[in-house]
Amino acid sequence: MAYRAYHALPPEKFSTATGQTTNAVFGFVSMLLTALDAEAPTHIVVAFDRGRPQFRLDQHPGYKAGRAKTPPDFHGQVELIEDVLAALRIPVVGLEAVEADDVLATLARLAEEAGVEARIASGDKDAFQLVRPGVTVLYPRKGMTDLVRMTPEAVEEKCGVTPAQYRGHAALVGEKADNLPGVPGVGPKTAAKWLTTYGDLDGILENADDIKGKAGENLRAHVDDVARNYRLNRLLDDVELPLGIADAVRREPDREALGTLFDQLEFAVLGRRVEAVLGAGEGTDVAAAEVPEPVRVDSGSLRHELDAVRATDWVAVATDAAYVLGQGTVDHLALAAGDRVSLIDLTDLDAPATDALSAFLTDHPRLVAHDAKPQLKALWDAGFTGADVAWDTQLAGYLIEPDKRSHDLGDLASTHLGGALPTAPDDEPGAELAARAWAIAQLRPALADQLDAHGASAIMEQIEVPVLDILARMETRGIAVDRGRLDALGDEFREQADASAQAAYAAIGHEVNLGSPKQLQEVLFDELDMPKTKKTKTGYTTDAAALADLFARTEHPFLHHLLAHRDRTRLSQTVVGLEKTLADDGRIHTTYLQTVAATGRLSSKDPNLQNIPVRTEAGRRIREVFVPGAGADALLTADYSQIEMRIMAHLSGDSSLISAFLAGEDLHAFVGAQVFGVETADVTPEMRAKVKAMSYGLVYGLSAYGLAQQLAIGVDEARGLMDGYFARFGAVRDYLSTVVEEARSRGYTETMDGRRRYLPALQSDRRQMREMAERAALNAPIQGSAADIMKKAMIRVDGAIRKADLTSRALLQVHDEIIVELAPGEHEAVTDIVLREMAGAASLSVPLEVNVGIGSSWQDAAH
């Protein structure tokens, strides 16, 4: 089932940020959850093959010979599956010398003897021989979630024979996957006909002389092969197992271990499915029992209540905010401090009371909320324009466990308060909101203690919370778009996609569905007889990487036009996405996410502006549609030059790299000269591209295999490149080895500003988990430091522009770039501020070089 999952799901779409492929794990666990949900079993066991099926090999040394070599990115995924099963507390059985199917057959017999109905989930048709009343096979029909119930009637309908006859059927037809050739010319229908006529295989062999024609002649010539197949395909049901049926009773999963694993594997969706299928576990509901009765506040009692709350150190705020651009609504607000909770109906406040609450939300220095950004935007829209927070429990949970999938209030309450998030009766309006405020108030000191222990308090207060405010204002402003140009670009991309499709049809002389893998397989590998790509469950792959490689090898015009069609279709879809998110004010308002990337980098959604390609001409044309809005006359873009490599030079202390940066040299040309042993002027574009890929790859823990894949070169050449690099930049080599060992001994990595990422898997005895953590340990300090520097630059630029009382404002942050909307007459002043504040965001042993451009669009401002 794991191997089926690997072939059902594209590896390139299932991998972690550290490069670990997870498609087999995801598919297997998904199938398992589907089966658990549908079947609700009382007992469960998973069987895996271990070693070699010796007794079958003794009889047929060629058993299973000739199978395709296991793909490299499947290696190790079985271990990860077993880790998930251990966290689910599902027993795993794997025995030397026998196969997993033998284990399943024995378990089915034991279940039958114990009076327990058995259901076997297996993609191997050999299991059909086990089907009988009380034993059902759940066979995957399509994908990994459609499991067909193979009862005795279903087996007979599918195969034309009974389960008892299935072994004989398989012996006659043969099993290519097991290298068990059958009788030449005898297919499933002929075998089924013989079995129906003669009852079983023994009856067929006894009457072999009576079977006429070529089929009968072939049968008589291959009797020994059929007998061998029949012996080998019998599933053993008398294997000595390390457990019995009583040991297979379903148990409550280890949710903490499962959560940690899913965080490392980046399985957010599966995490939610686990809770849906298995339940969220038993909560002690400690928090709910401690929530005091909320004080319901009206206009007359508001000032007194605010005075009482103001006297406390920290005040938790929770709202029922619903944010829609420019129309944020907040009807209720709850405050929690000390031993009291206040519930305020904002729709019932008079003007003086509203002013008093607004002043409180503006002036109180220690307000704490959970996921404050959307609530602040809604409060600003509702007239509370000065509302601000000094702490956010969601951000605190993220800083403590940046790899965790979810940092919602319920998860934090469960983890840090020892109980479930309190809920309120439906007939008590506002009570649930008051309970949320109370939970936030209880969480803050618990999380604050952990932040102190993690050395992250300063990051929370000096980086993340100030950035939260800046992001909220950037999202509110949005960035203007030239709608006419955007629509025209969409039309152009669609026309180009259509033209490429027509050219592709002309190249082969007929039309084909260019989005259908099956039809593409027929064209490429049958009609055009092209070299085969990687074999998958549904045929030879037609993914983008495979087609690009195929075009490089064949230069066939059909592939040229097909790839162009896909490229233009993707760009057209990008434009459609932008059109859908264009607001009535003519601006696009992306939403920034602070708690997704474990390294501290920001990401964005609706739309994801960080996904707009920058290195292609088409991508640059998309950036041309982003323009200055009303009251502005230009956009300014500013980004750091090679910031990650500068951090690498600083952290490693490599004198050669530092000297190159201090001298202002082209870094990649300089490195290329060192690695290839030539003068800088003699470094070719190809050399430069290779060392650039390698230099950045080292930051991400890239292996020689990964570098070879990226550069389309041999692994030995890639390893030689890395060896040459380390021979000349020894301090980099020493740093990269030291940072992993330090992380292993301390349990965490750390950025220059002290942002920690705990990596317990560094101590794992599972190679795959350990290597994932090692790649993260290499990457986190450098990428995390770059993220911290960018955030500090945003804070410094925003503060300096405000202090100078300018009207220009930052609109976007994309990767290492800030985009500012410039007001007339402020170009020079803002440029000076941006250069100064970004360059001063960190003190390194090499200069932070900032590039600035100004233009009439995002693209025109490129530098």
- Residue 136 burial (CB count, 10 A): 23
452: Cβ contacts below 8 Å, ≥ 6 apart: none
Domain boundary among 433, 454, 475: 454
How far apart are the C-alpha atoms of 500 and 568, rounded to whole Å? 9
Over residues 145-164, the mean pLDDT reads 90
pLDDT category at 628 given cuts 50, 70, 90 is very high
Quick check: is 671 in a domain?
Answer: yes
CATH of the domain at 665: 1.10.150.20
pLDDT category at 763 given cuts 50, 70, 90 is confident
Mean pLDDT of the residues in the chain: 89
**Structure confidence at residue 381 (pLDDT):** 93
**Structure confidence at residue 764 (pLDDT):** 83
Q: Are 373 and 243 within one domain?
A: no
- pLDDT per residue over 336-387, tens digit each? 998 889 999 999 999 999 999 999 999 999 999 999 999 999 999 999 999 9
How far apart are the C-alpha atoms of 798 and 384, rounded to whole Å? 21
Q: Are 234 and 305 within one domain?
A: no
Lowest mean pLDDT among 140-149, 313-322, 551-560: 140-149
Q: Is 476 exposed, middle or buried (0-12, 13-18, 19+ CB in 10 A)?
A: middle
The region that residue 247 occupies, defined by phi over 0 for left and psi between -120 and 50 for alpha, beta otherwise, is: alpha
Q: Which of 254, 250, 270 is nearest to 41 (CA)?
A: 250
758: Cβ contacts below 8 Å, ≥ 6 apart: 401, 403, 747, 748
Percent of the chain with pLDDT strictly greater than 70:
97
**Structure confidence at residue 537 (pLDDT):** 65
Q: Are 60 and 169 within one domain?
A: yes
The region that residue 371 occupies, defined by phi over 0 for left and psi between -120 and 50 for alpha, beta otherwise, is: left
DSSP string, 157-190: HHHSS-HHHHHHHHHHHEEGGGTEE--TT--HHH
- pLDDT per residue over 251-262, tens digit each? 989 888 888 888
Q: Are 665 and 779 within one domain?
A: yes
The CA-based angle 306-312-316, given to 5 degrees, is 75
**Residue type for 212, please?**
K
How far apart are the C-alpha atoms of 559 and 500, rounded to whole Å? 10
Lowest mean pLDDT among 225-234, 237-246, 451-460: 225-234
Torsion sign (Cα): 538, 542, 546, 551: positive
CATH of the domain at 124: 3.40.50.1010
**Structure confidence at residue 280 (pLDDT):** 59
Quick check: is 290 in a domain?
Answer: no
Over residues 30-39, the mean pLDDT reads 87
How far apart are the C-alpha atoms of 529 and 536, rounded to whole Å? 18
Quick check: is 838 in a domain?
Answer: no
* Structural Rg of the chain based on CA atoms: 32
Q: Are 238 and 299 within one domain?
A: no
The domain in which residue 710 lies consists of: 644-785
Q: Helices (DSSP H) in 40-151: which residue ranges?
A: 54-59, 77-87, 100-113
Q: Are 317 and 211 within one domain?
A: no
351: Cβ contacts below 8 Å, ≥ 6 apart: none
Domain boundary among 247, 279, 310: 247
Distance from the first to the final alpha carbon of the chain: 51
Whole-number Cα distances in Å, 597 to 266, 772, 784, 786: 10, 16, 10, 13
Structural contact between residues 315 and 335, judged by C-beta atoms closer than 8 angstroms: yes
| Tokens 């992380």 belong to residue | 743
Quick check: is 127 in a domain?
Answer: yes
pLDDT category at 283 given cuts 50, 70, 90 is very low
Q: Is the predicted pLDDT of residue 104 greater than 60, yes or no?
A: yes
- pLDDT per residue over 52-82, tens digit each? 776 787 777 777 776 667 777 787 798 899 9
Q: Which of 394, 356, 850 is nearest to 642 (CA)?
A: 850
Backbone angles phi, psi at 184, to 5 degrees: -55, 135
How far apart are the C-alpha atoms of 85 and 45, rounded to whole Å? 10
> Looking at residue 278, what DSSP letter applies?
H
Quick check: is 355 in a domain?
Answer: yes
Structural contact between residues 232 and 60, judged by C-beta atoms closer than 8 angstroms: yes
How far apart are the C-alpha atoms of 812 and 603, rounded to whole Å? 11
Q: Are 241 and 309 within one domain?
A: no
Structure-token pair, residue 619: 């991508």
Q: Are 301 and 431 within one domain?
A: yes
Most confident of 369-373, 423-427, 618-622: 369-373
**Structure confidence at residue 7 (pLDDT):** 81
pLDDT category at 289 given cuts 50, 70, 90 is very low
Q: Are 234 and 309 within one domain?
A: no
3-class state of residue 428 by DSSP: coil
CATH of the domain at 389: 3.30.420.10
- pLDDT per residue over 364-374, tens digit each? 999 999 999 99
> 58-67: which pairs have CB atoms within 8 A and are 24 or more residues apart?
59/228, 59/231, 59/232, 60/179, 60/180, 60/228, 60/232, 62/179, 63/178, 63/179, 63/180, 63/232, 64/177, 64/178, 64/179, 65/179, 66/179, 67/177, 67/179
Quick check: is 851 in a domain?
Answer: no
Q: Are 340 and 214 within one domain?
A: no
How far apart are the C-alpha atoms of 683 and 677, rounded to whole Å? 9
| Tokens 């009380």 belong to residue | 134
Torsion sign (Cα): 190, 193, 197, 203: positive
SS3 content of the chain, % helix, strand, coil (to 5): 55, 10, 30
Q: Are 86 and 165 within one domain?
A: yes
Quick check: is 617 in a domain?
Answer: no
Q: Is the predicted pLDDT of residue 284 greater than 60, yes or no?
A: no
If one counts the domains in the chain, the total is 3
Structure-token pair, residue 91: 């027993």
Q: Are 312 and 397 within one domain?
A: yes
Quick check: is 578 in a domain?
Answer: no
3-class state of residue 794 by DSSP: helix
**Structure confidence at residue 425 (pLDDT):** 55
**Structure confidence at residue 689 (pLDDT):** 85
